Structure 1
Amino acid sequence: MRIPNRPAVAAAVALVSVLSLAACGTGTGGGDPAADASGKVEGSITFQTWNLKASFGDYFNGLIADFEKQHPDVDVKWVDQPAEGYADKLSADGASGTLPDVVNVTPDLVHPLARAGLALDVGKAAGQYEKEYLSGAWKGFELPGVEGVYAFPWYLNTGPTYYNKKLFAQAGLDAGKPPKSYDELFGAALTMAEKTDGRIAMLAGAPKLEDFGRYGVRLMNEEGTSFTFNEAKGVELVQRYKELYDAKALDAQALTSSPEKTLHKFLTGAVAMNPGSAYDLENFRKQAPGLYQNLGITEAVTNTGHNQMYLQGLMVNSQSRQKPAAVQFAHFITNAENQMSFAKQVTIFPSTRGSLDDPYFSKDDGTLGTQVRIASAKSLKNAVNYVPAVYSEQMKAVLDVAVAKALQGKQSPKDALDDAVEECDKLLRQG
């Protein structure tokens, strides 16, 4: 199981207009965000997850049984949807008024539901629980253009950065001190290109929106109505990547890279650093034992001190007839004890305060798997979700094209980013 960087949300553009009709009479901008979720915890509720039942059926059935034992007047029905078509399923359920009471979502999936008034503002209805969660996770469900918090944070993930110690040493770089800031990264990349006559690049991919965020670029205005990644710091980032590209410190195929392609480049020793996750370790061990023996693990490079957080949450249907039970169940699934037990079932990380200090996430036993877990947990303590919920696949493609033009010298970095912001803002207004 993996938390994708950008879940498929093909239905998102049409979702808001469709759901606005379904939410007619509930108001706008979050519907009835202060809806009273107090009262007796009773009734039948439906809990919907996303591609979890096949691997974790016994685990979740046990959790549900525990909740029902604590609340004997509540009956929980669990349904699990496949990953493929999940956004379309949410759209159809929202339009027909059949959304489950508690729904597994990501920020981009809950955003149109919140705008349509179908997601409960848990910041108002259950704000007493905010202190139980990491600040970055709670804020991850604050959405552009919609005041409130629209899901309980659930499990998290992020990636450490992997590097090839042997390639670092061959380039005269200290393998014990991998770069932590972008200045250090760019300096090391240029050194590696020079020392290897351009045969080994430091990186395999061009910058994505997350990289702009980690560099310290403001991505949107406070109102969430316009993108701002074309500000001076964003232009500076692209210009510095162009210097890498010209010096062969960035892989020649970086402009058409994908996570799978960049991973392959790292596996084959064509590049020296690559972002990844704990899931990659087994690939390294099986497919590239030489790399595995020389594998370095470090936190993501940032100027901000905050890595990118990928997060899942549990939304409560604002029109549920059993809000008290739905809120209590969503909180139960996401409380510290249950998140910790889930994290020991699969490689994910809890969003609850203090959980990442548990020895499971902090005690090094010398194995690579534990080192990855420790690096990821340390990073997640103050990680943030840089990618705005309104950032669509179309917008992602627009930025990719703009960066490619700038790196190839077809446009200046400023002109390319100005055009990209203009096009993304146009897409934002259409959505």
Structure 2
Amino acid sequence: MRARRLTGSLSCLVVLTLTAAGCGLSGGSDDSGGATAGGCSVDKGNVGSGKLTGDVKGTITFQTTNLKKDFGDFFNGVIADFQKAHPGTKVKWIDDPGDNTFTSRTVADAQACTMADVINVNAPTATALTKAGYLLDIGTKDPDSSKPFVPSFWKTATFADASGKSIHTTLPWYTGGVLLTYNKDLLAKADIDPAKPPTSIFGLFADYEKIAKASDGKYFATMANPIWRIPADFDQMGIKVLSTDGKSAVFGDDPRTTQWVEWMAKLYKEGAMPKDSLSSSNDPSTLYSQGKVAYGSTNPSFVRFVKQNSPSVYAKTAVGQQPYDALGVASAGAPQYISVAATSKHAATALSFAEFLTNAENQTAWCKDPAVVIFPTTTESLNDPFFQNVTGTDPFSQARKLVADQLKTASTNQTNLSPAVQNAIVSQVQLAMQGKKSAADAVKDAQEKSNELLKQGS
């Protein structure tokens, strides 16, 4: 089962980009000042083509997303180290709960000229804020800012401004990974060699079918709800989901989409998936821990969950390479990002702190925290012995090393769908899985409904 890689909420993105689209940076293109973002004034040094200058001093605000409770000591330490290295600076830490109103509240803060100087954002929020002109063009203001990061992660830190030009308004921060987690005993009963994981999504589906035939209803291959797999499977298979401009759905034009739905319907009918999981939001944690599902979540943190909650099943667990399929490389999805407000009155300090927070030393240190299972986005961090010199043969140790190796060359491209569009596709696939319409009709109707929603949003 492929886990959804979207972080945060997309629900407000269309509306927000519409309401903010007319608020892009105006003025200041000749570095002469007079720039604004919405109704907020912007210091002349924060815009234009020149490198950002100024003293690293003054008070800035730093906003994270739901991190203070578990990682207060770590981030207070990072802040203290920065302030010690730069006398005359002060960093005030704000921790947002990160609920499904995050994007709307953040854009509202930006429009009110109260957004934090340094802010943790996800891809949807970065998209809205960049288009509205509220984020500093870090790639221009510090041409060396890309150097620490894995190239693919730096590439995904690019978003379109109001004119459609792609600019680097974020620094990649932390990410997850994707791998196969499976119960070796259940695979063996279906005559599947755990040492030879499938190389394609359809190959994985074929293994699901073997499990369905061998299990006689006593256990299952995976969960049924297609929301966990859309659009992740399509991205991995190289199926284009949206047009280049993002204004129309095109996934139905690829015949493999219909084949994918046919497979899902067949697997559901044959008992590869629990019947009551078709519309359930439950991931496989409980059933996998009970030994009733052969494949677990693709998130590395899931392996630690099994280790802590079901030692007997953990002893039967192994991890393997996710199917590369047509994409040809592993997938990582978009990471979490750190951005600097274009409206910051102490932009030099804010940018300095953002780069300090995301440097290799601090990324590595946080990833070593036993309370978290995350991965860094800097090349140096991924080469750290913590990831590379793994001596343990247990599944969790192997998962950590496997993902760290993958991330050096992984694809971070993902299709961002609004919940409305995603649900429109999912609901049609569910109908096909229930036998209420053909796969071809489900794909056709899903694309039509998606286009209706995209048209409304445009």
TM-score when normalising by structure 2: 0.84
| Match in the other structure for 1:46 | 61
| Match in the other structure for 2:131 | 115
Preserved contact between residue 33 and residue 124 of structure 1 (Cα < 8 Å): no
Structure 2: runs of 5+ lacking an equivalent: 27-35
Shift of 1:342: 1.2
* Aligned equivalents of 1:97, 1:218: Cα separation in 2: 38
RMSD (CA atoms): 2.7
* Aligned equivalents of 2:62, 2:359: Cα separation in 1: 16
Preserved contact between residue 266 and residue 272 of structure 1 (Cα < 8 Å): yes
Shift of 1:319: 2.0
| Match in the other structure for 2:30 | none
Preserved contact between residue 283 and residue 297 of structure 2 (Cα < 8 Å): no
| Match in the other structure for 1:218 | 240
Any residues of structure 2 matched to 1:20-419 within 5 Å, and which? 20=21, 25=26, 26=36, 34=48, 36-42=50-56, 43-84=58-99, 85-143=101-159, 147-205=166-224, 206=226, 207-232=229-254, 233-258=256-281, 260-303=282-325, 304=327, 305-345=329-369, 346-362=372-388, 363-389=390-416, 391-419=417-445
Counterpart amino acid of 1:103? I
Counterpart amino acid of 1:57? G
Going from structure 1 to structure 2, the CA distance change for 1:423 and 1:120 (only over 3 Å counts) comes to farther
Counterpart amino acid of 2:336? Q
Aligned length: 425
Shift of 1:202: 1.9
* SS state at 1:79 partner: strand
Shift of 1:300: 2.2
CA shift digits 1:99-147 (9 cap, x unpaired): 1111100101211111111122323333422232122322223346552
| Match in the other structure for 1:7 | 8
Preserved contact between residue 37 and residue 324 of structure 1 (Cα < 8 Å): no
Q: Which moved more, 1:337-346 or 1:73-82?
A: 73-82
* Aligned equivalents of 1:147, 1:281: Cα separation in 2: 37
* Aligned equivalents of 2:53, 2:386: Cα separation in 1: 38
* Aligned equivalents of 1:421, 1:119: Cα separation in 2: 34
Counterpart amino acid of 1:322? H
* SS state at 2:356 partner: helix
CA shift digits 1:144-202 (9 cap, x unpaired): 65522221000111243210111111112223323342243122222222233454332
* Aligned equivalents of 2:11, 2:243: Cα separation in 1: 25
Preserved contact between residue 230 and residue 418 of structure 1 (Cα < 8 Å): yes
* SS state at 1:46 partner: strand
* Aligned equivalents of 1:4, 1:175: Cα separation in 2: 25
Preserved contact between residue 232 and residue 414 of structure 2 (Cα < 8 Å): yes
* Aligned equivalents of 2:299, 2:144: Cα separation in 1: 33
Counterpart amino acid of 1:170? K
CA shift digits 1:249-304 (9 cap, x unpaired): 3443342132x343223223332112243433454245433311211111323312
* Aligned equivalents of 1:310, 1:339: Cα separation in 2: 16
Counterpart amino acid of 2:9? A
Preserved contact between residue 119 and residue 316 of structure 1 (Cα < 8 Å): yes
Counterpart amino acid of 1:366? T
Counterpart amino acid of 1:149? H
Counterpart amino acid of 1:107? A
Preserved contact between residue 41 and residue 74 of structure 1 (Cα < 8 Å): no
Going from structure 1 to structure 2, the CA distance change for 1:237 and 1:121 (only over 3 Å counts) comes to farther
Shift of 1:377: 1.6
Shift of 1:35: 5.7
* Aligned equivalents of 1:67, 1:288: Cα separation in 2: 41
Shift of 1:382: 2.6
Structure 1: runs of 5+ lacking an equivalent: none
Preserved contact between residue 202 and residue 273 of structure 1 (Cα < 8 Å): yes
TM-score when normalising by structure 1: 0.89
Counterpart amino acid of 2:420? Q
* Aligned equivalents of 1:429, 1:354: Cα separation in 2: 44
Shift of 1:9: 4.5
Counterpart amino acid of 1:7? G
Preserved contact between residue 22 and residue 97 of structure 1 (Cα < 8 Å): no
Preserved contact between residue 187 and residue 211 of structure 2 (Cα < 8 Å): yes
Going from structure 1 to structure 2, the CA distance change for 1:5 and 1:265 (only over 3 Å counts) comes to farther
